[in-house]
Every structure is written in C-alpha cells, then in structure tokens.
A and B are shown apart, each in its own frame.
Chain A
Amino acid sequence: MARMSVTGFYAYYGENAALQNIGLEIPDRQVLALIGPSGCGKTTFLRSLNRMNDFVKGFTVKGQVTLDDVDIYSSGMHPVVLRRRVGMVFQKPNPFHKSIFENVAYGLRIQGVRSRSILSDRVEQSLRSAALWEEVKDRLNSSAFSLSGGQQQRLCIARALAVEPEVLLLDEPASALDPISTARIEELIQDLKTQYAIVIVTHNMQQAARVSDKTAFFLSGELVEMGETSRIFTNPSDERTEDYITGRFG
C-alpha cells in the first residue's frame, strides 16, 4: 500500500529543471532509499515531499505529489499541516538551543499541548523510540548541545517522532557521524519502519543495501530505476544503475 505517491513530477530552480518526470510510490511501513551521485536531485526530491523547498526563491513544481490521495501542493493541504504529518531529519544534527526535554517537546508545544503529563509521556516515548532514553533520562534538563553528535542526531529523530508523523524523511542522517553512531541510527531505522513510511537519502550504497526495502536510483534529475533493494543491487535492469552501484562513476 502506498502512503505517498508521485506522478509526473517536475521541479525547477528558476529556469533549471532539477527533477524531470518523476513517478514513484512511497510504500507504508517500508524503507525507501534514494541513491545517486551528487547533484542528481535526490535531496531536492526529498525536500519536495514536505515542501521544505518552498523557502528557496524561484523554486517551482509541476505534477502531483499526494499524501493519502490529497495533493500536497494543492490548497487542500497547508504546508504546516503537511509537515506535521511528514517529519524530517536533516544531514547535520540541528537541535535547538533548548534542553533535551524541550527539544523533543517543541513540536507538541507549537501545537498547543500544555499538559505537563502528556508532554513528559510523549517525550519519554519518543526518546525510547529513538533509542536515546537510557542515555539521557537523568539529564533531560541539560542543554541538547551537551550531547555527542550521534546522540544529537537521535535527539532530532526523537523530536521528529514526537509529533507522530506518518512519513519520516531522512536526509543523509548518518553522513556526519562516526561508524558506531551510524550503526545505531541504522538499527533505529529498522525499528521505526514497523510504524512509519521512511524515505532515506544516502550517499553510501552499503547503507542503502543494509537498511532499505526499496531503492530508487536518480541521475541528472531523472528517476532511472526503482525496485526491490535486493534486485537493484544484484540485478539492475538499467545499465547506468549497474555502472553506478559497481562504482564505475559517482
């Protein structure tokens, strides 16, 4: 079952087409990996899914992206509502200058949740889901910046989970982390996919092979091929995909 689906999607920065005729489905409770060389449009595509590109001047789109059959670029869905349903974690950890607790509670507070007990329940639950609770439960009130880089990234994941999104977008979430933190994030992704549709952009093909169920290969703004990860990595149908995953370019 597809959670989001994209048909005939084009994206432009001014005159330049960054994405051309993209069509794919984002399956529920699975991990979709977007791979491709730098500048191929995979991050642009990811950020189009929760309209984060709206802040880029001159950015325009054509075509359709739907979330549960509602076009997210139509007036039927306000970007603020969309982003509460489609959460995002960025490449570099970007916790706020607040305490660990307040970072996770932020998304709830802006929705007007005031009750102390609801807040602390949800914060604990989110931190547990992000596999961070045991490490921070005794210092919820210290600054988020007292955490290590890997912990900060898991905090950002917890922060995204706290608003209970339906889809989770991860933009190279482990690229700024050491191997051990990376392994923890990957484990976490495996746990989270039982509840969420996950889309992950990654430069690291081993990572894509490890964590994803489906893989989409982007090249020069086009979707070359998408399919089961096991098939893409063993028996790609397009020659360019094969060249890329065998390391002939990119």
Chain B
Amino acid sequence: MADWAETTGSAEGLSLFRRFRNLLLGALTFFFFLFAVSPLLLIVYVAWDQGKSALNWNFVSSMPSGFPLGSEGGILNGIVGSLVLVVIASALSVPVGIWAGLYLWQDGKSRSAGMVRLLSDLLLGVPSVVWGIVGFYVFSTSTGWGFHWGFSALAGGLTLGFIMIPIVTRVTEQALRDVPMSFIEGAYALGATRWQTMRSVALPGAMAGIGTGILLGILNVLGQTAPLVFTNYYNTGIPSSLVGSQGAVGDLAMQIFIYVHEPSQLLHVKAMAASLVLLGIVLALDLGIRLMTWGSRKIAGRTR
C-alpha cells in the first residue's frame, strides 16, 4: 500500500506514458474495489429500505399469526428453528471436522490422507439440492431403509451438518499448518507425545483459524434452503420434538422463501424484514467468534 502511494504521489520523474498508465490502473483498481464491495452495500440498503417498516420488537419475539398466516405477528418460529438447525449441524460437524483436520495435518503426506482430502473436496462441490434429496432418502422418507424421521429438525440439521463437515475439515487443517513448526518441535523436544503436542500446543495455536472455519460453515448452513426442502421444510410453530411428523422447525431461510412466494404485499415486506434479521444473526455470530478467538488471533499475529 505504501509503495503504491509513493509511486502515484511522486510522478515527477516519470514519462507521460507511465504517468498516464499509473492513473489509469489506479482508477481501474478503485473501480473494481467498489464493484466488489457494492453488493454488500446494496443488500443492506435494499433489505433495510423494503423491510424496515415491519421491523420492531414484536416481529422478532412473537409467532406468526393473522391471515394469510404471518401477516400479523413475527418470525420467532424461524429464528428459533434456524438456531436449532445450526446447533444440530455444529454438534455433528465440529467434532468430526476437527478430528479429520487433525488427521490430515498429522498424516498429511500419506496416500490415505490424500484420499480423504480428495473426497472432502468432492463433498464441498456437491450441489445443495443433491444433499437435500439424499438427506430425504436417508433421514426422512417413511419407506425404504432410512431412519424414517419424517420432515424433522434432526433430519434437516444432520443434512446441514454433513454439508459443514468438509468446510470445517479443510479450514482446521490449514489453521494447524499455520502454527509455526518451532512450537510443535518445542513440545516434542520436552518429551510430549503426539497427542499431548496436538492438544496442548497445536490446537490452541490454531484456535482462531478453526473458529473462523466453524463460522464459515455456520454461515453457509444458515442460508441453505435446498437441503431443507426435503428434510425439514417448515413449521409455523415451535415443535416439542426433534423427530417424527411433528418434528419440523421453522427456518428463517425457508420462511423468507415461502413469504416471498405468497401473493401478499405485506408478506413481501415481512420477508425483507426477516432477511434483515438473518443478516443481523450472521453479523452477531461473526463478531462473537472474533471476540472469542481474540487472544489466539493476537498471539498468531505477533509471532508471524
């Protein structure tokens, strides 16, 4: 950055052509920067502009009511449901993903690790609708060899969890690789076993990166609709069970999808307001994880 400022600032000795080229490329860079961040501004602007009239405390704290359903009341079912799904998905993917990441880091160059890496990359590329339909066959349908859980939070949450696993795995592996080798060697040189080294030196050092990975996974999962269409769908209330025919939860992404499809101007506004709430949750989670991994991040910054 400093170099850039210097070259643009002291154009004195440059030929006219190079001065012109500097200016042109500078302008181009600035334009592309604006272009890259404008969607974020646009998203916030549109959602705020269209949804702000429906946004109030009642909207986030009460269940949908009125006719058509949702024209009065709020989206509490969606908020609770989304959080339930995220908790289930994380409960599956965080331990499995971290464990797999540890394996890839430890055994990195072996043939079986290469295989795990390849498979996990393939999984990252599986379209979400395919996850949904497979999740349906495995967890939800009432016939065949699956679990017969019906459209339920457990079926939806686990499907989302499987989507999250490869994300957590790869980010964990990378975060562990970023822990300086000298710390790892320091532990080994004191007679630490492999497990002790991983637990007391490698994992704490990689915490910030792993936290970011979990967050990435959660954010991905929070916005998923396709996998839920066949495994959980939607519920206008809050279920008392996580499985069975009454086990589906409301879900913000699905709620937005359904509201937008209703021929009602009022529900369109509610959908926009729900988008704002979803954005708010994403932002809160992001800040939360950043705060939680603050110490680890500071340390990582100091030693690299």
Contact surface of A with B, Cβ cutoff 8 Å: 50, 52, 55, 57, 80-81, 83-84, 87-88, 90, 92, 94-97, 106-107, 110-111, 145, 156, 159-160, 163
User: Does A107 contact B191, Cβ atoms closer than 8 Å?
Assistant: yes
Cβ-defined partner of B109 (8 Å) among A52, A57, A159: A57
Of the candidates B191, B201, B205, which one forms a contact with A84 in the assembled complex, judged by CB atoms under 8 Å apart?
Answer: B191
Is the Cβ of B196 less than 8 Å from the Cβ of A110?
yes
Residue with the highest number of chain A CB atoms closer than 10 Å, among B190, B193, B200, B303: B190
**Closest beta carbon of chain A to B175's beta carbon, Å:** 14
Cα of A52 to Cα of B192 in the assembled complex, Å: 12
Which of A83, A90, A145 touches B191 (beta carbons < 8 Å)? Answer: A83
Say whether B30 faces chain A, with CB atoms less than 8 Å apart.
no
Q: Would you call B299 and A145 a contact (CB within 8 A)?
A: yes
Q: Are B183 and A106 in contact (CB under 8 A)?
A: no
Once the chains are docked, how many angstroms separate the CA of A159 from the CA of B185?
A: 13
| Across-interface contacts of A55 in B (CB, < 8 A) | 185, 188
Q: For B304, what are the chain A residues with a Cβ–Cβ distance below 8 Å?
A: none
**Interface status of B134 (Cβ within 8 A of chain A):** no
* B204 contacts A by Cβ under 8 Å: yes
Q: Is B191 within 8 A of A81, CB to CB?
A: yes
Answer yes or no: B114 CB below 8 A from chain A CBs.
no
Q: Whole-angstrom distance between the alpha carbons of A94 and B186 in the complex?
A: 7
Known: A57-B109, A110-B200. A90 touches B185 (CB 8 A): yes
User: With the chains together, A111 CA to B299 CA distance in Å?
Assistant: 26
Least CB distance from A164 to B in Å reads 11
Interface residues of B in 164-209 (CB under 8 A from A): 180, 182-183, 185-193, 196, 200-201, 204-205
In the assembled complex, which residues on chain B have CB atoms less than 8 Å from the CB atom of A96? 183, 186-187, 200-201
Query: Per DSSP, are chain B's interface residues mostly helix, strand or loop, or mixed?
Result: helix
Residue in B183, B190, B302 whose beta carbon sits within 8 Å of that of A83 in the complex: B190
Residues of A within 8 Å of B302, CB to CB, are 145
Q: Which residues of A contact B303 (CB under 8 A)?
A: 145
Closest to A169 in B: B189
Decide yes or no: A160 and B190 within 8 Å by CB, A90-B185, A94-B182 being known contacts. Answer: yes
- Which partner residue on chain A sits nearest B299 by CB separation? A97
Residues of A within 8 A of B192 (CB): 80, 106-107, 110
Known: A97-B204, A97-B205. A110 touches B190 (CB 8 A): yes
Tell whether, in the assembled complex, residue B186 and residue A90 are in contact, meaning their CB atoms are under 8 Å apart.
yes
User: In the bound complex, what is the Cα–Cα distance between A30 and B296 (angstroms)?
Assistant: 41
| B188, B189, B200 pick with most chain A CB within 10 angstroms | B189
Given contacts A55-B188, A110-B200, A160-B189, 7 further A-B contacts (CB under 8 A): A81-B191, A83-B191, A87-B190, A90-B182, A96-B200, A107-B190, A159-B190
- The residue of chain A having its C-beta at the shortest distance from the C-beta of B295 within the complex is A97
Q: Across the interface, do A52 and B182 meet the contact criterion of CB distance under 8 Å?
A: no
**A110 surroundings in chain B (CB, below 8 A):** 187, 190-193, 196, 200
Are A80 and B191 in contact, with the CB atoms below 8 A?
Answer: yes
Chain B residues with CB below 8 A from A95, complex form: 186
Closest-by-CB residue of A relative to B190 is A107
| Contact residues in B for A88 (Cβ distance below 8 Å) | 189
Interchain CB contact under 8 A, A52 and B185: yes
Query: Of A52, A81, A92, which is within 8 A of B189 by CB?
Result: A52
Quote the shortest CB–CB distance from A232 to chain B (angstroms). Answer: 28
Residues of A contacting B190 in the complex (Cβ-Cβ under 8 angstroms): 83-84, 87, 106-107, 110, 159-160, 163
Please, which residues of chain A bring their CB within 8 A of the CB of B196?
110
How far is B201's CA from A110's CA once the two chains are assembled, in angstroms?
Answer: 12
Closest Cβ of chain A to B187, distance in Å, is 7
Question: Smallest CB–CB gap between B304 and chain A, Å?
Answer: 13
Within the complex, the shortest CB–CB distance from B301 to chain A, in Å, comes to 11
Whole-angstrom distance between the Cβ of B24 and the nearest chain A Cβ: 45
Please, how many angstroms separate the alpha-carbon atoms of A90 and B183 in the complex? Answer: 10
Q: Write the chain B residue with the least CB distance to A143.
A: B299
Chain B, residue nearest A57 (CB) = B109
Per CB-CB distance, the 7 closest pairs between chain A and chain B, nearest first, are A84-B191, A94-B182, A107-B190, A88-B189, A83-B191, A94-B186, A110-B196
Question: Can you sample 6 A-B contacts with CB below 8 Å?
Answer: A52-B185, A83-B189, A90-B185, A94-B186, A96-B186, A145-B299
CB <8 Å contact, A94 and B191: no
Residue of B nearest to A88 (CB): B189
B188 → A minimal CB distance (Å): 7
Minimum CB–CB distance from A99 to chain B (whole Å) comes to: 13
Query: Are A94 and B205 closer than 8 Å at their CB atoms?
Result: no
B204 proximity list for chain A (CB < 8 A):
97
Residues of B within 8 A of A52 (CB): 185, 188-189
Contacts of B187 in A (CB 8 A): 96, 106, 110
Most buried by B among A50, A52, A80: A80
B196 CB to closest chain A CB, in angstroms?
A: 5
How near does chain B come to A219, taking the closest CB pair, in angstroms? Answer: 26
| Shortest Cβ distance from B194 into A: residue | A80
Bound CA span A145–B204, Å: 16
- Closest Cβ neighbor of B181 among chain A residues: A55
Most B C-beta atoms less than 10 A away, residue of A106, A110, A145: A110
